[in-house]
Amino acid sequence: MIEPVTESVDPRYAAIDTASVAELAALMNAADAEVPRAVHSALPQIVPAIEAVAVRMRAGGRLLYVGAGTPGRMGVLDASECPPTFGTPPELVRGIIAGGDAAMFTAQEGVEDDEGAGRAAILAEEVGPADSVLGLAASGRTPYVVAAVAEARTRGALTVGLSCNSGAVLSAAAEHAIEVLVGGEVLAGSTRLKAGTAQKLVLNMFSTIVMVQLGKTYGNLMVDLTVTNAKLRERAIRMVSRVTGASAGEAAAALEASGMRVKLAILRIEKGLDEEAALAELASVGGRLRAVLEGAAMEGAP
């Protein structure tokens, strides 16, 4: 059997047990610096996959991450950040981890090898042609993930396989293959390190870029965020003030009148729209605030 690159022993790190803390920290920092370059090399694979996911989500589909162990936890983490950051319903972007919720906190032995459970997870989610399923496996051969992606593909879903090995089994199972080749780990086989960092960087791209494409931002402002605490309330006030030029007091009043929804507060100040009219305007342009604010200038723009 050919050894996956993620399991290889890198001779550069053969004596880490004799290194000082300072030397080890420098070694790990240098190793981590290799990851963004590897992600950059994979951009030709990443970009079309994100574009395809955005098309399906714009039509109402969901994005599901599927993984086991560390990749599964990262998928759950990335998905859980979408509702507060972009105001999405919890079911729109979801993370599925082998072993269920308990596996988020405690390793569940053997669950990653259960192909039947991977298929069952896709059936339980009632995955269909509108959806996108992104499988995460550093080795690219985790049975649970490969089976889940294969099942999703047979059900017409868009499928993406994200691994850190070339010619991965997961790549063959998915419609879109992404292989971020980070090489051997400082601690041989511990793919929570460089491979985990690479997968997190790619997930950042997927969730952020798709949401930008869906009109969830205005410039680089999170204008669809859900205001759930004092910090986010202050952030919302600052955003409304920045976009409209209104004082903090005026911005806060507009937010209160708009149910703490940033887009509606901005349109209340800038265009004098009440909630019903603002929602109708946004709905007509796919939720894009810029298109409402600059409608005349953007008319006919690509």
CB within 8 A of 291, min separation 6: which ones?
215, 285, 298
221 falls within a domain: no
Domain end call among 213, 243, 262: 213
Task: Write down how long the chain is.
Answer: 302
Paired strand residues for 136: 67, 162
Check: pTM over 0.95? Answer yes or no.
no
Same domain for 12 and 65?
yes
| pLDDT attached to residue 2 | 60
Shared-domain flag, residues 50 and 114? yes
| pLDDT for res 7 | 76
pLDDT at 189: 82
Identify whether residues 103 and 156 lie together within a single domain.
yes
Residue 6's pLDDT band (boundaries 50, 70, 90)? Answer: confident
167 has a pLDDT exceeding 70: yes
23 counts as catalytic: no
The candidate with the shortest Cα–Cα distance to 194, out of 203, 181, 204, 205, is 181
Residues 113 and 17 in one domain: yes
How far is the C-alpha of 184 from the C-alpha of 186, rounded, in Å? Answer: 7
Q: Residue 234 is encoded by which pair of tokens?
A: 């202050």
Please check whether residues 104 and 155 belong to one and the same domain: yes
* Nearest CA-CA partner of 49 in 169, 232, 207, 274: 207
In terms of Cα–Cα distance, which of 149, 136, 159, 128 is closest to 60? Answer: 128
| 162 and 29 share one domain | yes
**Do 239 and 190 belong to one domain?**
no
Structural domain count of the chain: 2
Q: With 50 as the cut, is the pLDDT of residue 299 above it?
A: no
Q: What is residue 296's predicted lDDT score, i.e. its pLDDT?
A: 44
Residue 81 among the catalytic residues: yes
Judge whether residue 301 has pLDDT over 60.
no
For the cut 60, the answer to whether the pLDDT of residue 255 exceeds it is yes
Angle subtended at Cα 209 by Cα 204 and Cα 214, rounded to the nearest 5 degrees: 135
pLDDT, mean of residues 170-191: 93
| Tokens representing residue 58 in the block | 């714009």
Q: Is the pLDDT of residue 230 over 70?
A: yes
**Domain containing residue 101: CATH number:** 3.40.50.10490
Same domain, 57 and 88: yes
Rounded CA-CA distance 222/185 in Å is 35
Q: Is 285 exposed, middle or buried (0-12, 13-18, 19+ CB in 10 A)?
A: middle
User: Would you state the pLDDT for residue 245?
Assistant: 96
5 falls in which pLDDT band (50, 70, 90)? confident
Are the CB atoms for 67 and 97 separated by under 8 Å? yes
User: 250 and 198 in one domain?
Assistant: no
- Is the pLDDT assigned to residue 208 strictly greater than 50? yes
Q: Are residues 74 and 193 in the same domain?
A: yes
Q: Report the alpha-carbon distance of residue 262 to residue 228 in Å, rounded.
A: 13
The string of DSSP letters for 56-70 reads: HHHTT--EEEEESHH
The CATH number of residue 278's host domain is 1.10.8.1080
- Please tell me the predicted confidence (pLDDT) of residue 19: 94
In this predicted structure, what is the pLDDT of residue 169?
97
pLDDT of residue 129: 97
Task: Give strand pairing partners of 158.
Answer: 132
Is residue 223 in some structural domain? no
Residue 271 structural domain: 230-298
Q: Which residue has the higher pLDDT, 40 or 110?
A: 40
> Residue 247 has what pLDDT?
97
Per-residue pLDDT averaged across 159-181, rounded?
97
Per cent of the chain over pLDDT 70 is 97
Q: Which of these is catalytic: 112, 151, 179, 185?
A: 112
Domain membership of residue 168 (yes or no) is yes
Q: Does residue 224 sit within a domain?
A: no
Q: Which residue of the set 34, 81, 270, 275 is catalytic?
A: 81
> Domain check: are 48 and 197 in the same one?
yes
